[in-house]
Amino acid sequence: MRLILLGPPGAGKGTQAQRLVARHGIVQLSTGDMLRAAVAAETEIGLKAKDIMAAGGLVPDEVVIGIISDRIEQADAANGFILDGFPRTVPQAEALDVLLKSKGLNLDAAVELRVNESALLERVETRVAEMMARGEAVRADDTPEVLSKRLAAYRASTEPLIDYYSEKRKLVTINGMMSIDEVTLEIDRVLAAIREDSGSAKPSRRAAKKAPAKKSAAPKKAAKAKSAKAPAKKAAKAPAKKAKTAKKTAKKVVKKAAKKAVKAPKKAAKAGSKVAKKAKTTKSTKKVVKKAAKTVKKAVKKAAKSVRKLAKKRAKR
């Protein structure tokens, strides 16, 4: 098992780490202990860390990753490990992922011990009061004031790791407000479930390896698919040809209609001119007839007058 324990100061990570080491035969890797061991062994990375620490600087992430890389290759880490104090930031977690991947290893879980910060402060206040009542010396870093600062630092830098591992589906959250034994039992239950899931995933990997044996049938299927595609292509081309011919005939019809549309006004104009001419002739004949009728009327009136005069003369005689 390869694990990371997350949680604010005072959540009980150290106690649970020791129990996990005893139960699962894995090692607890503390960055502080690893740095000191690397410096004492005078390894290449240890000497780099020694110079930085001697100058009072913070050891950079790449140096810490290098020390972890050397440490997890040792024989006692073959069954797994618990990282204590690392990673503390998201960039460190990303660097750890790259390191494990390069070695063909996976992180099994990031176990978060979730606690109530106000309850932690009350615990420290009670412990300090009891130690002072017994006359015992109180550590300078074991006071409510120091704990408040450490909690603020945890929220600012380390707490984002919870979201990081949650997105990767590696986060396991345990109620750290339970008793120590209850927390241990809950961690064991969750880790057993993870082992079962990883065990059930192995047969699927074997099946995936055997899958390429079916390649011999693939070319036959491809040949059948090609032969089936040939008629389909012809069938697809036939409608395309029909569509082309339909377009051509449509163009012809449109051209003929356009020509007719252009000629029609010309024909109509010619016919109109003929009708106009005829109308002019009929109008002129009508005028002549009217004039002749008038002259006839006048002649008749004159003849009638002359007849009346002759009749009067005869009557006098």
- Is 230 known to sit in a ligand binding site? no
Please indicate whether residue 155 is annotated as part of the active site.
Answer: no
131 close to 138: Cβ distance less than 8 angstroms: yes
The tokens of 54 are what? 């001697």
- Is 36 known to sit in a ligand binding site? yes
- Is 205 known to sit in a ligand binding site? no
Q: Which residues lie closer than 8 Å to 65 by C-beta, 6 or more apart?
A: 92, 95, 96, 99
How far apart CA 20 and CA 194 sit, in angstroms, is: 15
Query: CA separation (Å) from 51 to 20, 56, 59, 70?
Result: 34, 9, 9, 19
- Is 13 known to sit in a ligand binding site? yes
Residue in the block written with tokens 């129990």: 19
Catalytic residue selected from 19, 114, 123, 150: 150
Catalytic residue selected from 23, 139, 308, 309: 139
109 close to 172: Cβ distance less than 8 angstroms: yes
Catalytic residue selected from 2, 88, 114, 123: 88
Please indicate whether residue 267 is annotated as part of the active site.
Answer: no
Please indicate whether residue 150 is annotated as part of the active site.
Answer: yes
Please indicate whether residue 19 is annotated as part of the active site.
Answer: no
- Is 274 known to sit in a ligand binding site? no
- Is 12 known to sit in a ligand binding site? yes
- Is 139 known to sit in a ligand binding site? yes
- Is 9 known to sit in a ligand binding site? no
- Is 32 known to sit in a ligand binding site? no
**Residue 34 DSSP label:** H
Please indicate whether residue 127 is annotated as part of the active site.
Answer: yes
- Is 23 known to sit in a ligand binding site? no
How far apart CA 114 and CA 120 sit, in angstroms, is: 11
List active site positions: 13, 88, 127, 139, 150
Would you list which residues are annotated within the binding site for ATP? 10-15, 134, 178
Q: Which residue ranges are tagged as binding site? A: 10-15, 31, 36, 57-59, 85-88, 92, 134, 139, 150, 178
Annotated binding site for AMP: 31, 36, 57-59, 85-88, 92, 139, 150
